[in-house]
Amino acid sequence: MQQIYLDYNATTPIRPEVVEAMLPYFSGTFGNPSSVHWAGRQAKQALEMARDQVAELIGARSSEILFTSGGTESNNLALHGVLKPRRATPFRVVTTPIEHSSVLKTVKALGTDVTSVEMVTLAVNGQGRVSPSALEAALTPDTALVSIGLANHEIGTLQPIRELSPMIRERAIPFHVDAVQAAGKISVDVNQLGVDILSLSAHKIYGPKGIGALYVRQGTTLSAVFHGGPQERGKRPGTENVAAAVGFGCAAQLCAQDIESTHPCLIHLITRLWDGIQQHIPDVVRHTPTQACLPNTLNVGFAGASGEGLMMGLDLAGVAVSTGSACAAGSVEPSHVLLAVGCDEAGAKSAIRFSAGRETTEEDIEAVIRILPGIVERVRKAGRSG
Amino acid sequence: MQHRALPLRRNPECSPNLQENHGTRVLAALSGGVDSAVATALLVEAGYEVIAISMLLAGSTEGHVGSCCSIDDFQDARRVAEQLGIPYYVLNLKEAFQTRVIDVFTQEYQHGRTPNPCLLCNRDLKFDLLWQRARELDATYVATGHYARIGWDEATRTAHLLRGVDPYKDQSYFLFTLNQAQLKRTLFPVGHLTKEQVRTKAHALDLRVAEKPESQDICFVPDGNYARFLERRIASDRVISGEIVDQAGQVLGSHAGIHRFTIGQRRGLGLGGLTQPHYVTHIDPASGRVTVGTQEQLKRHGLRAKDVNWVSGDQPDSVQVAAKIRYRQDPIAATVSVTTSTTAEVWFQEASPAITPGQAVVFYDGDLVLGGGWIEGPLP
């Protein structure tokens, strides 16, 4: 059976060049970067080179990059690290309802630990975009942090971070941006965006799983959450995952080189997919905006069909896509993102996310356009008579 | 009663005809237990194209250990599917389970009845929603690990529901609601095996769940404490408390809510000074009154049944049956008189104790399940 992977927002395959770059750092150059001897020095050198490469991807300085275990840890460290010193007095955190669960659940958890946290989730419009005026209205003197994702993982909406950042910085409020889905797909520059803290993950950009980074602008106060050794400036203690960091660095460098050339290809593929869907399937709704969105993401609602059924039907035909978010048991919960952009429960349960990547071909897209209408028809029919 | 011999042509689940089954898609419900694991394995062996499905029914699945919807069970089910080399999915049916099983379970107690959630779950989820999913996935059959058999009578072109071969495990009682259309698209691959044979097969296949213990009690009340479960769901001002009275209406004591009682219950009455054991004989939700009596006073000669289903689709006027009025009970000889298209009266040859509204009465003729209904109330 043919296998077509259209779930690049979930994860990406590691590029062969990245694997190649990592290999020497498992057994050959194996030292602990904190060791003073030759073995340690070799490892340290590799680690710092990787840091340079990651910094370069987002226009940061190396000294502003902390390696973490991934996007979720980066978001946790950002929120806990900024808010921990603020716990003495009541404060407000401003975010949006369409953030990744590692942001939303962390803010909520802070709220139960410390009763004085006020969580403000800004309203988003039908495309998932935050309005600058709504943000401005929410910025009170006791606002301790603003956390907004650059690109939404499910519908691909880009937030106008550049328009939002001046009003936040004017008030000297730390601004955290989750760029896990954006990095590698669109150009991300921390200075152009005007952000203070930014989260990254390697496996979304063709690097290994289990490593991410947190950019922390020089001068921004961030407390450690874990305690231990002096690694990562004491902000993230623990012996560094050198091989993974090297892989992350390599992937970042390759992404930075390729972004100009892959961007139009992805747009072309997604445009073709949407055209094909519209042409062959009635009653579809596009949840991904047509402007200011990720080039690789297409979230579509198929009215009257269960997204769960569609996803399984496509999987059995060899096509990997996603719907909603997975729970601990592995079943699907309706997407909180779609609910927040105005979908009703039925609408949120009938959506599928296609996300293309470097290895997606036109043939893949054509095959999906061929397979999908029959599956949608069958699932809709089963739902009607059931 | 005589065991009726049936001209059974089809028993598709154990058909050795790989050619015939090849390419026929089956949706197999895989719970993480040994019965459904072996059922699924038998289908794979028989050449079917099998898709394994677990149903997420209850709880947040966080810290929910030791019941049917624990993470461990899904993990076991997933590993079994991997071992068998078939696709595996977890269906999120929490909402349906909440409204069609848990809410009904709670309401029934408030009406003085003793609900049977496994029956509701089979009827509304396994043989309804799961079938909907089967059609979405172009599957021809839904298979479960129930200990029951399906036979096919070519002469009358009728599907029959039969007891499982293992008398201790037979689960046909829980399947009386099935109709012809459902039986024709259902497979019970372990119905012709005993539990021991199922475990032997599981060992032979080296399935990781071969020695897994039986699940007990109701899956969403893992500790078996129904009263506490219900009290978390019934607002305190809606609890129906009242008096405990004897057959003559004399007050013997009081109780903290009718949801704590079931017909035939002996323990937890809190009555002292009685010369012989007393049982709950009647629960009146309107007055909150719980009536108790001796074992003799618990006996009734018949019952009224509603939502009666006749598996063959043909409704008789009157029929001699062996009736089961609860799962763990030997059938008793009875006459069923159909009163309307959905109701019937069941008269026992000898008076029987504990007619429990909310439970099912299932009609057998030997191994054959003729049909059944929901117990509405006793007849004198």
Average pLDDT in the B176-191 region? 94
Q: B interface toward A at CB cutoff 8 Å?
A: 51, 54, 56, 61-62, 69, 71, 74, 78, 87, 89-92, 128-129, 131-133, 135-138
B129 contact residues in A (CB cutoff 8 A):
386
- Cβ of B90 within 8 Å of Cβ of A329? The answer is yes
Average pLDDT in the B150-172 region? 92
Q: Which of B25, B89, B97 to mutate to test the interface with A (most CBs of A within 10 A)?
A: B89
Residue among B190, B185, B197 at smallest CA distance from B146: B190
Coil, strand, or helix at residue A100? coil
Q: Is A309 on the interface with B (CB under 8 A)?
A: yes
**Residues B210-239 pLDDT 10s:** 988 887 668 888 778 888 889 988 988 899
Q: How far apart are alpha carbons A291 and A294 in whole angstroms?
A: 9
Q: How far apart are alpha carbons A35 and A37 in whole angstroms?
A: 6
Residue type, B309: N
Average pLDDT in the B49-76 region? 73
Model confidence band, residue A385 (pLDDT cutoffs 50, 70, 90):
low
| Model pLDDT, residue B305 | 97
Residue among A358, A357, A291, A301 at smallest CA distance from A324: A301
Model confidence band, residue B18 (pLDDT cutoffs 50, 70, 90):
low
**Alpha carbon of A344: minimum distance to chain B alpha carbons (Å):** 15
Model confidence band, residue A110 (pLDDT cutoffs 50, 70, 90):
confident
Half-sphere exposure (CA, 13 Å, Cβ side) for A328?
A: 13
Backbone dihedral angles phi then psi of residue A83, each to the nearest 5 degrees = -85, -25
**Alpha carbon of A324: minimum distance to chain B alpha carbons (Å):** 11
Average pLDDT in the B159-182 region? 95
**Alpha carbon of B305: minimum distance to chain A alpha carbons (Å):** 27
| Model pLDDT, residue A185 | 96
Nearest to B62 among A328, A379, A381 (CB): A328
Return the percent helix, strand and coil in chain B, to nearest 5: 30, 30, 45
Average pLDDT in the B349-361 region? 93
Q: How far apart are alpha carbons A50 and A149 in whole angstroms?
A: 24
Q: Is the pLDDT of residue A115 over 80?
A: no
CATH of domain B12-204: 3.40.50.620
Model confidence band, residue B378 (pLDDT cutoffs 50, 70, 90):
very high
Coil, strand, or helix at residue A281? coil
Has domain B240-293 been given CATH number 2.30.30.280?
yes
Residue among A25, A77, A75 at smallest CA distance from A47: A25
**Residues A218-249 pLDDT 10s:** 999 999 999 999 999 999 999 999 999 999 99
Q: What is the mean pLDDT of chain A?
A: 95
Nearest to B71 among A328, A332, A379 (CB): A328
Q: Is A331 on the interface with B (CB under 8 A)?
A: yes
Q: Is A275 on the interface with B (CB under 8 A)?
A: no
Nearest to B74 among A329, A333, A381 (CB): A329
Average pLDDT in the B162-173 region? 95
For A318-356, the three-class secondary structure string (H helix, E strand, C coil) is CEECECCEECCCCCEECCHHHHHCCCCHHHHCCEEEEEC
CB distance A339 to A273 below 8 Å = no
Q: Give the number of other Cβ atoms within 10 Å of residue A263's Cβ.
A: 16
Model confidence band, residue A200 (pLDDT cutoffs 50, 70, 90):
very high
- Cβ of A386 within 8 Å of Cβ of B132? The answer is yes
- Cβ of B61 within 8 Å of Cβ of A328? The answer is yes
Nearest to B89 among A306, A312, A386 (CB): A312
Average pLDDT in the B89-94 region? 91
**Alpha carbon of A307: minimum distance to chain B alpha carbons (Å):** 11
Percent of chain B with pLDDT strictly greater than 70: 92
Question: What domains are there in chain A, each with its CATH number?
Answer: 4-11+259-385 (3.90.1150.10), 16-254 (3.40.640.10)
Percent of chain A with pLDDT strictly greater than 90: 90
Residue B13 DSSP class? G
- Cβ of B132 within 8 Å of Cβ of A382? The answer is yes
Q: Give the number of other Cβ atoms within 10 Å of residue B277's Cβ.
A: 11
Residue A385 DSSP class? H
Enumerate the β-bridge partners of residue B373: B361
Residues of B designated as active site: 121, 219
**Residues A256-314 pLDDT 10s:** 999 999 999 999 999 999 999 999 999 999 999 999 999 999 999 999 999 999 999 99
| Model pLDDT, residue B64 | 44
| Model pLDDT, residue B12 | 46
Coil, strand, or helix at residue B102? helix
Enumerate the β-bridge partners of residue B336: B319, B346
Q: Is A332 on the interface with B (CB under 8 A)?
A: yes
Q: Is A308 on the interface with B (CB under 8 A)?
A: yes
| Model pLDDT, residue A268 | 97
A312 contact residues in B (CB cutoff 8 A):
51, 87, 89, 133, 136-137
Q: Is A346 on the interface with B (CB under 8 A)?
A: no
Average pLDDT in the A71-94 region? 93
**Alpha carbon of B313: minimum distance to chain A alpha carbons (Å):** 21
**Residues A167-195 pLDDT 10s:** 999 999 999 999 999 999 999 999 999 99
Q: How far apart are alpha carbons B293 and A336 in whole angstroms?
A: 55
Model confidence band, residue B80 (pLDDT cutoffs 50, 70, 90):
very high
Output the DSSP codes for B296-348.
Answer: HHHEEEEEEEEEEEETTSPPPSEEEEEEESSSSS--EEEEEEE-SSS-EEEEE
Q: How many CB pairs under 8 A join A and B?
A: 61
Model confidence band, residue B269 (pLDDT cutoffs 50, 70, 90):
confident
Q: Give the number of other Cβ atoms within 10 Å of residue B17's Cβ.
A: 10
**Residues A10-61 pLDDT 10s:** 999 999 999 999 999 999 999 999 999 999 999 999 999 999 999 999 999 9
Q: How far apart are alpha carbons A360 and A363 in whole angstroms?
A: 8
CB distance A190 to A161 below 8 Å = no
- Cβ of A331 within 8 Å of Cβ of B90? The answer is yes
Q: Write the ipTM.
A: 0.86
| Model pLDDT, residue B14 | 45
User: Strands, DSSP E only, in chain B?
Assistant: 25-29, 49-56, 88-92, 141-143, 148-153, 158-163, 186-187, 242-245, 251-255, 279-284, 289-293, 299-310, 318-324, 332-338, 344-353, 360-365, 368-379
- Cβ of A332 within 8 Å of Cβ of B92? The answer is yes
Residue among B334, B350, B374, B320 at smallest CA distance from B4: B320
Residue of B nearest to A333 (CA): B92
| Model pLDDT, residue A113 | 64
Q: Is the pLDDT of residue B9 over 50?
A: no
CATH of B300-379, one of 1.10.1060.10, 1.10.3300.10, 2.40.30.10, 3.90.700.10: 2.40.30.10
Q: What is the mean pLDDT of chain B?
A: 88
- Cβ of B137 within 8 Å of Cβ of A316? The answer is yes
Q: Is the pLDDT of residue B16 over 50?
A: no
Q: Going by C-beta distance under 8 Å and a sequence separation of 6 or more, which residues neighbour residue B60?
A: none
**Alpha carbon of A14: minimum distance to chain B alpha carbons (Å):** 24
- Cβ of B56 within 8 Å of Cβ of A313? The answer is no
The helices-and-strands tally (H runs, E runs) of chain A is 12, 14
| Model pLDDT, residue A117 | 87
In chain B, where the domains are located: 12-204, 240-293, 300-379
